[in-house]
Amino acid sequence: MFKITVAGTGYVGLVAGVCFAEVGHQVTCVDIDENKVDLMKSGISPIYEAGLEELMQKNYAEGRINYTTDYQSAYRDADAIFIGVGTPEQPDGSANLSYIATVARQIAESLEKDCLVVVKSTVPIGTNDKVEQFIRDFLVNDVNVEVASNPEFLAQGSAVHNTLHAERIIIGTESKWAQEMLTQIYEPFNLPIVSVNRRSAEMIKYASNDFLALKISYMNDIANLCELVGADIQDVARGMSFDDRIGSKFLNAGIGYGGSCFPKDTKALEYIARQQGYELKTVKAAIEVNKEQKTILYKKASKRLITFNGLKVAVLGLTFKPGTDDLREAASLENIPLLLEQGADVYAYDPVGAENFAKAYPDGKNRKGSITYVNDIEKALEGANVCFIFTEWGEVKALSPLIYKNLMRTPLVYDGRNIYNVAQMQEAGVEYHSVGRKP
Ligand code: UGA
């Protein structure tokens, strides 16, 4: 078993740290935020993720995981240091590597023994080479450091499960020593390991995410055409899915992909290609389709209603997908400001995302319209003139079409996640608009 330190306690770092402890390694998680560290020590996760707190509490009680702000003592004698800090998007689409650089410098100044530094964060191709050189340039002690790439493939909402039961572990190394050590670290997980060089590992991460983004944008593009020619995208997807080469996952049309990964990683790869003088046409198209898709239902509703001024608008779902409180690149963040600017009175329901929305959009109350956060769906729907569904939360999916008919002033529903049966909504007397299906 190894002594592992994890830098950064976001979705990637914290989940990795907890799962390493769960399989028996000795783990220290480092974060600069003291409040966050105290919270984690008391068994509370700073992020909402199924099963995470239970594993944090169990492994902390059994002495396999600890949390600290003292990076020096955490890095000093670690066998391996995993970097899981953010690489947010910059205005030009490139990835901001300043958090990685800060951690790399701290590692260089702390190390007192040989160490394998493993980059988990999604980074542009070639970054691992630079991080290795950077650390070596700043080393204080005479130790050997190598950097390995080990991209993360977890999805928010199922992060713990995805890590413990990952479909593959990608290991990108430049030496036998690094490859063997990383393989040994992952041995207790008993998962398929794909061993490649560092640049290929970095590319595998972008190529995978961008392929999935492309798949979604392709289905959205086809969905928009389905509406025009009278086909039904769900039937089309079902028919396509029987082909193993296509597969049945990620074929759901809707109001586009959000989250912290697909939007950022498509733009980053497109930027990387541009820097090389190459036009990545397919990824560019995925980005373009997604941009348009986000407000497609708002535009449809604007035509139907003429104005939102003075209307009660129910919004069901704020987060970028169910099972998370994350709002990054969520459709709600694009659509609600538009509604408020038009003078709508928005009543927003989300089981976990309202607080984050209020933080992300603090001036919501100063717009022409108003925003009220409600704890139950019925309060949002009561007397509403129109309803938008942005996230397919289970409790929203479970609603009977009659709820819309009975509670709303006018039962007019724009569903960005295609969660209801069109015929059943019509039978219940709801005017139902979705994506890629006949109204
Ligand atoms: C995504 C990838 O699925 C993970 O494999 C990857 O590790 C992660 O990014 C990352 O790079 O860290 P995540 O962003 O958590 O994970 O969420 P997804 O479940 O992939 O959903 C992303 C967005 O696509 C959501 O807004 C979702 O609503 C949308 N989506 C997904 C669709 O519109 N249609 C689909 O068929 C599937």
pLDDT given for residue 94 in this prediction: 87
pLDDT given for residue 363 in this prediction: 67
pLDDT given for residue 47 in this prediction: 86
pLDDT given for residue 365 in this prediction: 63
Is the distance from the beta carbon of residue 417 to the nearest atom of ligand 1 less than 6 Å? no
Burial per residue of 295-323, b for 16 or more beta-carbon CB atoms within 10 angstroms, e otherwise:
bbbbeebeeebeebeebbbbbbbbbbbbb
Report how far ligand 1's centroid is from the alpha carbon of 263 (Å): 10
Taking the CA of residue 331 as reference, the ligand 1 atom at the shortest distance is 26
Q: How far apart are CA 256 and CA 263, in angstroms?
A: 10
**Which residues of the chain fall below pLDDT 50?**
none
Is the distance from the beta carbon of residue 257 to the nearest atom of ligand 1 less than 6 Å? yes
pLDDT given for residue 58 in this prediction: 97
User: Homologous superfamily of 295-433 in CATH?
Assistant: NAD(P)-binding Rossmann-like Domain (3.40.50.720)
For domain 204-292, which architecture applies? Orthogonal Bundle (1.10)
pLDDT given for residue 8 in this prediction: 94
Taking the CA of residue 154 as reference, the ligand 1 atom at the shortest distance is 7
Nearest CA to ligand 1 atom 9: 261
Q: How far apart are CA 67 and CA 97, in angstroms?
A: 24
Location of each CATH 3.40.50.720 domain in the chain: 3-196, 295-433
pTM: 0.94
pLDDT given for residue 156 in this prediction: 85
Q: Look at domain 3-196 and name its CATH class.
A: alpha beta
ipTM above 0.90, yes or no: yes
Per-residue pLDDT of 411-432, as tens digits, reads 999 999 999 999 999 999 999 9
Pocket residue to mutate for ligand 1, from 11, 15, 212, most atoms within 8 A of Cβ: 212
Is the distance from the beta carbon of residue 82 to the nearest atom of ligand 1 less than 6 Å? no
Taking the CA of residue 152 as reference, the ligand 1 atom at the shortest distance is 7
Nearest CA to ligand 1 atom 20: 155
Report how far ligand 1's centroid is from the alpha carbon of 251 (Å): 12
Is the distance from the beta carbon of residue 351 to the nearest atom of ligand 1 less than 6 Å? no
| Contact predicate 403/426, CB 8 Å | no
pLDDT given for residue 366 in this prediction: 63
Nearest CA to ligand 1 atom 27: 257
Report how far ligand 1's centroid is from the alpha carbon of 421 (Å): 24
3-state secondary structure the chain: CCEEEEECCCHHHHHHHHHHHHCCCEEEEECCCHHHHHHHHCCCCCCCCCCHHHHHHHHHHCCCEEEECCHHHHHHCCCEEEECCCCCECCCCCECCHHHHHHHHHHHHHCCCCEEEEECCCCCCCHHHHHHHHHHHHCCCCCCEEEEECCCCCCCCCHHHHHHCCCCEEEECCCHHHHHHHHHHHHHHCCCEEEECHHHHHHHHHHHHHHHHHHHHHHHHHHHHHHHHCCCHHHHHHHHHCCCCCCCCCCCCCCCCCCCCHHHHHHHHHHHHHHCCCCCHHHHHHHHHHHHHHCHHHHHHHHHHCCCCCCEEEEECCCCCCCCCCCCCCHHHHHHHHHHHCCCEEEEECCCCHHHHHHHCHHHHHCCCEEEEECCHHHHHCCCCEEEECCCCHHHHCCCHHHHHHHCCCCEEEECCCCCCHHHHHHCCCEEECCCCCC
| Distance set, CA 146 to CA 73, 224, 404 (Å) | 19, 49, 59
Pocket residue to mutate for ligand 1, from 261, 319, 329, 435, most atoms within 8 A of Cβ: 261
Location of each CATH 1.10.1040.10 domain in the chain: 204-292
